[in-house]
Structure 1
Amino acid sequence: MSVSTSSSVSPRLGLWHWVAFTVGVVPLAVYAFSPREGDLPLYFRTAHAFLQGAIPNQDFRFEYPPYALLWFVPAAWLGPTLPSFIPLFGLQLALFDAFIKWLLLSEGAKRWGNSPRAWVPFAVYTVASWVQSIHYLKRYDLIPAAFVLVALVALARRREALAGWALSVGVVTKLYPVVLVPLALAVCWRRGTSRRLVLGLVAGALPLVPLSFFWPWWNFASFHVERGLQVESLGASLLWAAHRLGLVSGVAWVHAPAAYELHGAAAEAVKVATRWVWVVGSLAAAAVGIGSLRHRLPERAEEWARLALGPLIAFVVLNPVLSPQYLVWLVGAAGLALLSGSPWAPAALFVAAMISRGLFTGASSYGKGLTGSFTVLLLVRNGLLLAAGFALVREAWRLKRAGPEEALRPQALGSPAARQSMPGPLPPSP
């Protein structure tokens, strides 16, 4: 069993931390009152119908996992009209934003004390949250992203039941955290604490049992099976660039029910291929992460974040549907990953997230089809995501292939923390 490697410093947040926290949080709390709608009308309509007794996926179509609706209900109950719902739900998201920023500040201070590096995760995340505000506070993706961070930090602190509960709630809110469940199970099995993790997973999903008696919540999956090739996905960006260059004809930029999609024979072929690449790539990234556990388990929160980002990025960048808010899923873990190891891959994720904002300007013609310069910007954004994912999966692969002694070197771990404490090799699995 590996030894816990707690940080050598763990100061409390000081005055300047709280000043920075206030500066980081207040602008978004103010932006919550912006009348910009985003997806909020959809959230309001579904929550309002639910409060009036309608059954999701029976009386009206609900495209999200079931817990998503439960997050919409409080603001819809307090705000019976859309203009009142928008600031209430925005303030609810601002609370999750504040929690994430507090967590990044706290983890930075615990890891690096008063060193300037302690501020990096919070500072970079704060700037990215401001730049992404039109998606950050107008979609609900911030909620499952916060639960993923809770799970990563809880796993680092060996609070497996809490981690399992947070992962489970995240999965039933937005589905994508499911790619982290195999990693968590593998680590906890090696630790001998898998029972606590499973109990947490079950506790988080337990409300689905009574919901199933009146709500066919599983039907949300059918909506996503029917979706086309979303214009910002990797495959779509390459196809659109080829179309702009005159290499492929018959590609149409269409406003579909849930997003803008590429339609046509070529788009259909790319969609089918992309789905296979997405499934295989996500599974392969998760398998590499699990394989890297052979000689060393992640201990610190940043090590968990670097390990988790491989399959998370694969799930996002290879997906035939890549909406701009999906990058919210990545930047919290990327902030933690900046606490040690090579910074370029996590930093690339923040750059990619901020580039996404540039695609939604009047000059981009997003509603009709991206113009040439903005098509290049989209390709750069997707290239950064792909490169960052490859780098982090490669980092895990190098640990997988390393012997116990090599895997424990600071260079292999990508963590200066290894200079402070060096856990011994793990015993063989039972």
Structure 2
Amino acid sequence: MTLRPPRDALLASAVFVAAAAAVTVAWQLLGHAITDVPLYRTYGERIASGLVPYRDFAFEYPPGALPALVLPALVTDSLTAYRVAFAAEMAVLGALGVLLLAEGLRGLGRTGTDRRVVLATVALLPLLLGGVILTRFDLLPAALVALALALLLAGRLRAGALIVGLGIAVKLYPALLVPLLAITAWRKGGRRELGIVVGLAALPALLAYLPFTVLAPDGVLDSIGRQLGRPLQIESLGSGVLLALHHAFGLSLGWASGSGSQNLTGTGPDVVAVLLAIGQVVAVALVWASFARGPATPERLARHAAAAVVAFVALSKVLSPQFLVWLVLLVPLVGGPRSRAALWLAVLACALTAAWFPVRYWELVREFDPLASWLVLARGMTLLALLAVLTWPATERARARSRSPAPSPGRT
């Protein structure tokens, strides 16, 4: 990895931060911001005052998220100051994430116009995600995944595995990369390398959870259980289908707030949530199996890492807008003939989200706003299309071979 980032990477990083800051401030001034920052501040102040998460109060995130939430509470004493400090944290992480993405592109040999298009697109994506990109902590795991991929693509498998483990400790979704690392390790060094790599990926998460598991095992289990048992969020693909049926055929739907989101209620949504969960597990497993069937090249590793995360996001029963932040620093690494299609589908998914979030979100929830409903469905279908692009078997051109016709028996 290079210590001195190239000029194009620095420029993209600066534009990314400027765009994210500008749109975040704009939504705040317009009064449309929907943010988790007040919740983060509550967590941070409780911990700063000596309370223990999971034991003294319910905490829904993995323990690796705590530093990002606590640090602003240690240096500020008001919500406004906390908001600025937290956004500054995320801006720094976003800047580093873009630099790490550029390093990953370098490791894949992506240069010239292709590299410039990718960096320019990523630099401007906060214009579409400004409602969430600096008001959620998802840039932290996204930047860690970008660092892990940069290391993996440079051939540093063990270091990459350790960083993946740090990502798991912050937000669980980087665990989707562990089977890909295991396959790569097995092929590189057999059983011993497999054990080392998987152990390195598991170690940070185990160390992060261990003290809280000792202090408050019930609280930790409750935190994990609440995430696994969440109902069908109104922003998910499954909800998009049900909302479409509601508007097209009059399907009766209800909603309620719970588990930190607004969700569709009733038997139908419960069934759809189960079907989505099954589909999610199957889709992610198929991505892992696809990687196992081919060579563990850097290009295939990057593509299948993106595909695993996209499968998880697209078929999740909870699909908050900030989940798209996970894709911003990952999908652009996909190279080859499908790279442009993957990049523009990711951009389209962000644009469709921006068309209704945050400005039409409460109309979607309270009134099942028709435009927002169809946009939710369109966003979900776009993510499925992105998954198809990432996983569709590559077609290789048959090599042209000139063969001399074999002489027929008996001919002279």
Q: TM-score, length-normalised on structure 2?
A: 0.85
| 1:248 matched to 2:251 | yes
Partner of residue 380, structure 2: 382
> Which position in structure 2 is the counterpart of 1:219?
222
1:78 equivalenced with 2:75 (yes/no): yes
Distance 1:169 1:410, change over 3 A: farther
| Stretch moving more, 111-120 or 349-358 | 111-120
Distance 1:226 1:19 in 2: 43
Q: CA deviation at 1:109?
A: 5.3
Q: Does the CA contact (< 8 Å) of 2:151 and 2:157 recur in 1? A: yes
- Give the partner amino acid of 1:289: F
Question: Which position in structure 2 is the counterpart of 1:287?
Answer: 289
Shift of 1:11: 12
* Per-residue deviation, 1:238: 0.3
Q: Give 1:196 shift.
A: 4.2
Letter paired with 2:277: R
* Aligned residue in 2 for 1:298: 297
Q: What CA distance in whole angstroms lies between the structure 2 residues aligned with 1:51 and 1:215?
A: 18
Q: SS of 2:61's equivalent?
A: coil
Letter in 1 for 2:263: E
Tell me the residue number matched to 1:393: 391
Q: Are 2:50 and 1:47 equivalent residues in the alignment? A: no
| 2:268 paired residue among 252, 266, 269 | 266
Offset, 1:168: 0.9
In the alignment, the residues of structure 2 paired with residue 66 and residue 363 of structure 1 have an alpha-carbon distance, to the nearest angstrom, of 33
- 1:349 equivalent among 329, 346, 351: 346
Q: Aligned partners of 2:111 and 2:275: how far apart in 1?
A: 49
Q: CA deviation at 1:383?
A: 0.8
Please name the residue that 1:402 is paired with.
none
Which residue of 2 is the match for residue 415 of structure 1?
none
- In the other structure, the counterpart of 1:422 is none
* Secondary structure, counterpart of 2:263 in structure 1: strand
Name 1:373's counterpart in structure 2.
371
Could you say which residue in structure 2 is the equivalent of 1:419? none
The alpha carbon displacement at 1:283 in A equals 2.2
Q: Secondary structure at the match of 2:50?
A: coil
Q: Aligned with 1:227: secondary structure? A: coil
Cα deviation for residue 289 of structure 1 reads 2.5
Q: Does 1:165 align with 2:165?
A: no
Q: Distance in 2 between matches of 1:48 and 1:242?
A: 44
Name the SS for the 2:291 alignment partner: helix
| 1:234 CA drift (Å) | 1.2
Q: What residue in structure 2 maps to residue 309 of structure 1? A: 306
Question: Given the superposition, is the C-alpha separation of residues 14 and 345 from structure 1 closer, same or farther in structure 2, using an over 3 Å criterion?
Answer: closer
Does the 8 Å contact 1:90/1:138 carry over to 2? yes
Q: Against the structure 1 CA distance between its residues 362 and 311, is the aligned structure 2 distance closer, same or farther, given a 3 Å change threshold?
A: closer
Task: Name the CA distance, whole Å, in 2 between partners of 1:376 and 1:384.
Answer: 12
Match of 1:97 among 94, 97, 122: 94
Alpha carbons of 1:263 and 1:410: their partners in 2 closer, same or farther (altered >3 Å)? farther
How far residue 108 of structure 1 moved from its aligned partner, in angstroms, is 4.1
Aligned pairs for 1:229-248 (under 5 A) are 229-248=232-251
Q: Which residue pairs with 1:414 in the alignment? A: none
One-letter code of the match for 2:248?
A: L
**Are 1:25 and 2:17 counterparts?**
yes
Name the counterpart of 1:208.
Answer: 209
The structure 1 residue matched to 2:141, chosen from 133, 144, 162, is 144
Which residue of 2 is the match for residue 425 of structure 1?
none
For 1:239-271, what per-residue CA distance to the aligned partner results, in whole angstroms no more than 9, with x for missing partners?
A: 11101123422x113333511111122222222
Structure 1 residue 33: Cα displacement: 6.3
* Segment drifting more, 84-93 vs 109-118: 109-118
TM-superposition CA deviations, 1:11-64 (whole Å, max 9, x none): 975545544443332343566667556001111111211222222222211111
Q: Which runs of 5+ in 2 are unaligned?
A: 400-412
Q: Does the Cα contact within 8 Å between 1:132 and 1:357 map onto a contact in 2? A: yes
Distance in 1 (alpha carbons) for counterparts of 2:223 and 2:306: 26
Provide the rounded CA distance (Å) in 2 between the counterparts of 1:410 and 1:200.
41
Moved more, 183-192 or 74-83: 74-83
2:329 partner SS: helix
Percent of aligned pairs with the same amino acid:
28
Tell me the equivalent position of 2:187.
190
Output the CA distance in 2 between the equivalents of 1:270 and 1:314: 17
Whether the aligned pair in 2 keeps the contact of 1:305 and 1:336 (CA below 8 Å) is yes
Tell me the distance in 2 between the aligned counterparts of 1:245 and 1:177. 38
Counterpart CA distance in 1 for 2:259 and 2:176 is 27
* 244 and 33 in structure 1: CA distance in 2 versus 1, 3 angstrom threshold: closer
Please say if residues 238 and 317 of structure 2, whose CA atoms lie closer than 8 Å, have aligned partners that are also in contact: yes
CA-to-aligned-CA distance 1:187-212 (integer Å, 9 cap, x gap) = 11101143442342244233433343
| Secondary structure of the corresponding residue to residue 101 of structure 2 | helix
Distance (whole Å) between structure 2 residues aligned to residue 17 and residue 287 of structure 1 = 34
CA–CA distance in structure 1, aligned partners of residues 90 and 336 of structure 2:
25
Hey, what's the Cα distance between the residues in 2 that align with 1:123 and 1:200? 34
SS in 2 for 1:360: coil
2:364 is paired with a residue of what secondary structure?
Answer: coil
- Rg: which structure is higher? 2
1:311-326 to structure 2, matched below 5 A, reads 311-326=308-323
Distance change >3 Å, CA 218–CA 21, structure 1 → 2: same
Q: Structure 1 residues 410 and 363 mapped into 2: Cα distance closer, same or farther (>3 Å)?
A: farther
CA distance in 2, matches of 1:341, 1:376: 27
Structure 1 residue 338 displacement after superposition:
4.7
User: How far apart, in 2, do the equivalents of 1:269 and 1:341 lie?
Assistant: 34
Measured at CA, do residues 361 and 39 of structure 1 come closer, stay the same or move farther in structure 2, by a change above 3 Å? closer
Moved more, 91-100 or 214-223: 214-223
SS for the counterpart of 2:125 is: helix
